[in-house]
A = this chain, B = another copy of it.
Amino acid sequence: MGRPKGFSREEVLEKAMPVFWKHGFADTSLQELERATGVNKSGLYTEFRDKEDLFVACLRHYLESQGKRGLLTKEPLGWKNVETFLKNGPLNKGEQQGCFSINSMREFAILPDEAYGVVTENRALLQRLLALNIESEKPFMAPSAIAEMVLSFFSGLCIERNLKSSKASSTRKIETFMTAIRSL
């Protein structure tokens, strides 16, 4: 049987994720990943094919954990869920700001195709969930049209987390936005 390994895959993902989340793919070195995870290159390379593989695994892990929060599936569906999604979707836990998935979009050029697939699939899912919530409010316009517009606004909120702007201004924007779309 031999020596048992001193870490779990989950553990590594949980610790590597914030690093990629904050610094992106290119600006994250193996050295930093070793430091953050406490696992040495050998360990990392037995568990993951390469840096790209680890990155994509982190991305999936992120999206899963975000999904589990169920911000858009709370009953009753409606505007309230949309507002909560906009307000609490982009996280703010110390270093990791905004949305890892949205952040990754700027690196598609150097990321494996898989990353593109994961991100777009998740966006499609979000859009469906948004549309479901919107539909329940019986708006005049097509729910899917409103949903895709909401997702763009969400994307904007996410990248703006790279600015040192206040939480208050973000909340204000969301409230103005919600007022606008409730009339659609």
Q: How far is the CA of A163 from the CA of B141 in the complex (A)?
A: 25
Asked if A30 CB lies within 8 Å of chain B CBs, one says: no
Asked if A1 CB lies within 8 Å of chain B CBs, one says: no
Q: How far is the CA of A148 from the CA of B176 in the complex (A)?
A: 9
> Closest Cβ of chain B: how far from A144's Cβ, in Å?
10
Fill in one digit per residue for A98-133: 1 if any B CB lies within 8 Å of its CB, else 0: 000011011111100000000010010000000000
For A109, give its contact among B22, B108, B172, B177 (CB under 8 Å). Answer: B22
Q: Once the chains bind, are B173 and A184 in contact (CB under 8 Å)? A: no
Asked if A75 CB lies within 8 Å of chain B CBs, one says: no
Q: Once the chains bind, are B153 and A152 in contact (CB under 8 Å)? A: yes
Q: Once the chains bind, are A162 and B106 in contact (CB under 8 Å)? A: yes
Q: Once the chains bind, are B159 and A102 in contact (CB under 8 Å)? A: yes
Q: Which residues of B contact A169 (CB under 8 A)?
A: 148
Interface residue ranges of A122-178 to B (CB < 8 Å): 123, 141, 145-146, 148-149, 151-160, 162-163, 169, 172-173, 176-177
Q: A155-B160, A156-B157, A180-B183 are in contact. List 10 more A-B contacts (CB 8 A).
A: A23-B109, A24-B107, A103-B106, A120-B163, A148-B169, A149-B177, A149-B180, A152-B177, A153-B177, A176-B184
The 5 residue pairs across chains A and B that have the minimum distance between CB atoms? A156-B156, A155-B156, A152-B156, A180-B180, A105-B162
